[in-house]
Structures are given as C-alpha cells and as structure tokens.
C-alpha cells in the first residue's frame, strides 16, 4: 500500500485511498477471477475441440435474455444439494443473457462467458471462447491465466506454465498472475523460478498469506532456511492459527537448531489440530458442495458486475455485486466493489456496512481498518477513526500507514501538534518515502521547527525531484529560514 498523502487540513485528508477513479478497460481490470475454477468440478474430463466458434452465439441460438437471471435466482434457504447446486448453475448460466448482446464487438464479454461456462456449463466451449478472444486481442493476460488453469486441471503442466509465463510477461503489475505461476512451479519442484515469481507476488501483494507460505516452501527446498523462516513468519503474522504455516515453522526451526521455537510452533500446531477435530463446522460434508456452487455463482456475478462497471453502467454493476454479496457471505471482491461504489457516491454511512464486513472476513489486513478510519473521518467521527489508526499500528507496527493517519488526525485543527510530529517520525522510520518526509516537513513547519522541516523537505525533494509540491514546500521553508535569520541580525 502506498503512502502518498496530502496535508491534514480538512476531515477528508485520510480518504485518498477511497477515491473511485473512472473504471479502467475491463481487459486490465478482470484480475483475480481464477477462483471461478475452484470448488466442485461439474465436468471431470474432456478433449479440447479444434477450431473456434463459427459465430458469436454460445449455443447456436440465444437461450437467455437480459434479466433472465432474476427469475432463475437460486434459493439461499435450500440446503438440499440435489436441488441447490442445479439452481445455482441455472442462475449462473442465465447471466450469459446479460452479455450475449455484446459478443459482436466486446472480447471481454466472450471472456466472462467463458469463465461462467468453465465452471457451470461446458469447459470445451469455454476454451473455444477464450481462443476466440485471443484472435481478437492477442495480448489479453486474463485469457492466458484462464487457459493456464484449464491446462493445469487437465495435468498439462508445461502447457499451463507457458500460459502463466505469458500472462506474467503481459501483466507484470498483476500479483495474482505471479501467484498462479509460482504455485505451479513449487508443485513441479522448479523452485529457483518459483522463488523469483513468488517474490514478485509478495512484493505486489504483501498481505498474501498463500504467497508467503509458498515462497517459504520454495526457499526451504533450496536449502535457504533462514529466508524460509522469515517468509513463514510473515505468513504467521497474517494468520497465527494457520496449521500448515505452524507445521512448517516447527520443521524449519528444528532444521536451524532452534529447538525452543520449534517446540513452541509444534505445540500451537497440535492445539489447532485438536480444535479442528472438535469443530463439526470444519469437517467436510455434503454442505461443501452447496457452498462451492454458491461461491462460484457469486464470482460469476462479480465478473459480470465488473464488465458493466467498465462501461459506466454502474447501477447494473451494483445490482450484480449486491447479489454476489447476498449469495456468498464471505465473498471479498463483491464487498470491495460495493465499498468503492459507495465511495464514488460519497455514501459513507452505507460504506460502513461493507468495510465492516471486510474487516471481519480479513481481520489481519490493515487495508480495511485504514479504510474504515477514512470513512469515519468523512462522517466526523474523529476519535473513533483515531482508535482504528492505532489498531493498524498494532497489527502492522512496521508499516507507515497507521502512523500517517495518526499524524494527520493529530495535526487536524491543531489537536496534538507534538504528537503529530512523533507519529510522522515513526512513519518515516517505517518507510523513508518522499511522501512521509513531506508530511514530517509540513508538521514541523507548523510547529515552527524550521531546521527539522528543511531537513525533511530536502530529503523529500531528493527522493522525488520532479514533484512540484515538494520543491515549492522546500523553497518556502528556505525563504522562512532567511527571514528568520534576517530578523535575528537586525539591531534592536
């Protein structure tokens, strides 16, 4: 998470991360949709058909029309897998009717329909759709990810790696692509390349538990035990109850000769194993089939929602995100999209619902208490926002964001200027970025500490010499310094 921020001069100072920019083209926005491939597989095996579709129609004729999914909505009270799973499938396939009208000129529509088909319909048809997309847009990273997942499911490892590598080449900013690549490389014992891919993944997504864990596996396999332990500890901080992480920490500490730590993590692992056996909700049952189907249905609605959001049809997009949140109470992407939609409309009270959900679903992700605090600032609930920023500093004392928020709130209306400076110093110590130095310089200037302000402002300009705001701040501080020196030299 970046630390770009402005000066805390109004209640909106902490809300920059909530700003909702105009939707980017879907070809660059449909990331992280590989979860459509997880859960119950309705088709066990198949042979890829040669060629591409002779027309843009999925089935030779239109079976669904826009809005049909509303009349086919699966009942969320149905707990019988014999009826609940087909109902989810029917609603998902009806979503195709939302997109068929775009097939003639929208490769993204074909891509999303391929995702739905791959999970609920015909996986052969899904691959055909994706290959058709590549004919229209050869450099479409999401298609390569999707084809890579299909190849992986069919056991064609080298083909899958080829697709994942191509996706990483086309989208080097995509954390999910490097995770897909790194995961398969670890499974195949290609640990040196896996380390490179997974290192890039955690750089882009530092709160990825799976990324840190799999990076640790690759490092351990290469005999880099110290680094493996460091990666495992990052994963452990994200979830101290994760059984695989605890087990691996015990194993790595033992190999490093750290017997005491090894014993501690093994005790924690044993405690989590015992708790799992005692908790009936954690046991595998037929209910998992329903849950998997509904998770995939929610993912389909999320994808369709993003499609319409990219075309500025935000009301229609919101309708699909709301349905996704209703179908799957643990769906994070739908709640993220709804949170951004609320921010775009400045519907801060409504935004509280979604950010609170996200905090509950991902309790160790600092992004959500940060956003929650920013919303509370907008609502004028400054003391509550301050409590959340303090929570962030406890969750991630090595990260600057919580200290930045506290500094901005402390300087706001001159609430605690001295405290603001201490928080800004902590932010700089955590991350000596230009933005953090600029914040420190601004606070020191308000306190009249010109020497420290100039030092901090100089560092900000050195780090980002092209930023006009930083240069103007430094020039202003030098002018104040000259005026102060002249005043001292004037005879009384």
In the predicted structure, residue 175 carries a pLDDT above the cut 60: yes
In the predicted structure, residue 42 carries a pLDDT above the cut 80: no
Residue with the larger pLDDT of the pair 342 and 284: 342
In the predicted structure, residue 288 carries a pLDDT above the cut 80: no
Query: So what's the pLDDT on residue 222?
Result: 97
In the predicted structure, residue 48 carries a pLDDT above the cut 50: no
CB atoms within 10 A of CB 196: 15
Query: So what's the pLDDT on residue 219?
Result: 98
Tokens 């994070």 found at: 332
Distance CA 433, CA 463 (A): 7
Distance CA 202, CA 211 (A): 6
Distance CA 322, CA 85 (A): 20
Inside any domain, residue 28: yes
Inside any domain, residue 80: yes
Distance CA 401, CA 407 (A): 10
CA-wise closest residue to 307 among 140, 109, 120, 143: 109
In the predicted structure, residue 489 carries a pLDDT above the cut 80: no
Distances (CA, A) of 412 to 9, 134, 320, 420: 6, 52, 39, 9
Inside any domain, residue 441: no
In the predicted structure, residue 28 carries a pLDDT above the cut 70: no
Query: So what's the pLDDT on residue 68?
Result: 79
Question: Which tokens in the block code for residue 165?
Answer: 């590598």
Across 55-69, 216-230, 232-246, 353-367, least confident range: 55-69
Distance CA 212, CA 234 (A): 7
- Tell me the pLDDT tens digit for each residue of 456-483: 999 999 999 999 999 999 999 999 999 8
In the predicted structure, residue 109 carries a pLDDT above the cut 60: yes
In the predicted structure, residue 445 carries a pLDDT above the cut 70: yes
Name the burial class of residue 487, with classes exposed (0-12), middle (13-18) and buried (19+) by CB atoms within 10 angstroms of its CB. Answer: exposed
Inside any domain, residue 466: no
Query: So what's the pLDDT on residue 211?
Result: 97
Percentage above 90 pLDDT, the chain? 68
pLDDT, mean over the chain: 85
Tokens 């692509």 found at: 177
Distance CA 121, CA 57 (A): 14
Boundaries of domain holding 116 = 23-171+286-311
Inside any domain, residue 114: yes
Element (H, E) at 196: helix 191-204
What is the band of 415 on the pLDDT scale with cuts at 50, 70, 90?
A: confident
**What's the pTM?**
0.77
Query: So what's the pLDDT on residue 491?
Result: 65
Query: So what's the pLDDT on residue 24?
Result: 38
DSSP conformational letter for 208: -
Question: Which tokens in the block code for residue 465?
Answer: 């010499």
What would the mean pLDDT of 364-384 be, rounded to a whole number? Answer: 93
Inside any domain, residue 48: yes
Contact 308, 44 (CB under 8 A): no
What is the band of 313 on the pLDDT scale with cuts at 50, 70, 90?
A: very high
Name the burial class of residue 194, with classes exposed (0-12), middle (13-18) and buried (19+) by CB atoms within 10 angstroms of its CB. Answer: buried
Contact 407, 439 (CB under 8 A): yes
What would the mean pLDDT of 227-244 be, rounded to a whole number? Answer: 93
Query: So what's the pLDDT on residue 54?
Result: 30
Number of domains in the chain: 1
In the predicted structure, residue 35 carries a pLDDT above the cut 50: no
In the predicted structure, residue 421 carries a pLDDT above the cut 80: yes
Query: So what's the pLDDT on residue 63?
Result: 63
Query: So what's the pLDDT on residue 280?
Result: 54
Inside any domain, residue 92: yes
Decide: helix, strand or coil at residue 304: helix
Distances (CA, A) of 35 to 60, 176, 242, 276, 296: 28, 11, 20, 25, 7
What stretches of 242-362 adopt beta strand conformation (E)? none
DSSP letter string over 129-183?
Answer: HHHHHHHH-S--HHHHHHHHHHHHHTT-HHHHHHHHHHHHHH-TT-HHHHHHHHH
Query: So what's the pLDDT on residue 31?
Result: 41
Which of 47-56, 80-89, 193-202 has maximum average pLDDT?
193-202
In the predicted structure, residue 409 carries a pLDDT above the cut 50: yes
Query: So what's the pLDDT on residue 32?
Result: 39
Inside any domain, residue 210: no
Distance CA 177, CA 162 (A): 12
Residue with the larger pLDDT of the pair 39 and 252: 252
- Give me the CATH number covering residue 303: 1.25.40.10
Distances (CA, A) of 337 to 152, 313, 321, 325: 29, 14, 7, 10
Distance CA 29, CA 308 (A): 12
What would the mean pLDDT of 27-39 be, rounded to a whole number? Answer: 38
């Amino acid at each position: 998470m970046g630390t770009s921020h402005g000066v805390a001069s109004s209640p909106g100072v902490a809300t920059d991360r909530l700003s909702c920019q105009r939707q980017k083209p879907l070809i660059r926005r449909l990331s992280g949709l590989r979860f459509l491939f997880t859960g119950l597989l309705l088709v066990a095996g198949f042979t890829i058909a040669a060629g591409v579709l002779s027309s843009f129609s999925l089935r030779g004729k239109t079976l669904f029309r826009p809005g049909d999914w509303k009349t086919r909505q699966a009942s969320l009270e149905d707990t019988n897998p014999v009826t609940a799973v087909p109902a989810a499938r029917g609603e998902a396939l009806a979503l195709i009717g939302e997109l068929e009208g775009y097939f003639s000129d929208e490769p993204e529509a074909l891509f999303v329909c391929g995702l739905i088909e791959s999970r609920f319909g015909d996986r052969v048809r899904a691959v055909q759709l994706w290959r058709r997309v590549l004919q229209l847009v050869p450099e479409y990273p999401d298609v390569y990810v999707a084809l890579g997942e299909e190849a992986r499911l069919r056991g064609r490892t080298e083909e899958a790696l080829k697709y994942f590598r191509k996706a990483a080449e086309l989208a080097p900013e995509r954390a999910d692509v490097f995770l897909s690549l790194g995961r398969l490389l670890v499974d195949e014992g290609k640990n040196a390349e896996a380390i490179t891919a997974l290192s890039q993944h955690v750089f882009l997504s530092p709160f990825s538990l799976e990324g840190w864990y799999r990076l640790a596996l690759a490092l351990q396999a290469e005999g880099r035990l110290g680094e493996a332990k460091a990666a495992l500890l990052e994963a452990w901080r994200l979830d101290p109850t994760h059984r695989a992480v605890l087990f691996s920490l015990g194993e790595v500490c033992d190999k490093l000769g750290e017997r005491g730590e090894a014993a501690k993590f093994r005790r924690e692992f044993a405690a989590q194993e015992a708790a799992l056996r005692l908790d009936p909700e954690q046991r595998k049952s037929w209910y998992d089939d329903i849950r998997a189907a509904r998770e995939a249905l929610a993912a389909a609605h999320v994808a369709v929602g993003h499609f319409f959001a990219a075309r500025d049809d935000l009301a229609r997009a919101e309708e699909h995100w709301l349905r996704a949140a209703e179908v799957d109470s643990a769906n994070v992407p739908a709640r993220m999209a709804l949170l951004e939609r609320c921010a775009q409309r400045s519907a801060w009270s409504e935004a509280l619902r979604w950010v609170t959900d996200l905090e509950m679903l991902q309790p160790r992700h600092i992004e959500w208490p940060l956003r929650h605090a920013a919303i509370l600032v907008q609502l004028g609930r400054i003391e509550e926002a301050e409590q959340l920023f303090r929570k962030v500093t406890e969750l991630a004392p090595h990260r600057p964001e919580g200290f930045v928020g506290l500094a901005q709130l402390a300087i706001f209306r001159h609430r605690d200027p001295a405290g603001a400076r201490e928080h800004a110093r902590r932010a700089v110590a955590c991350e000596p970025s230009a933005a953090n130095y600029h914040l420190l310089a601004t606070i020191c200037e308000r306190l009249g500490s010109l020497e420290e302000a100039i030092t901090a402002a100089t560092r900000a300009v050195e780090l980002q010499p092209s930023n006009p705001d930083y240069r103007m701040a430094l020039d202003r501080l030098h002018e104040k310094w000259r005026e102060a020196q002249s005043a001292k030299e004037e005879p009384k």
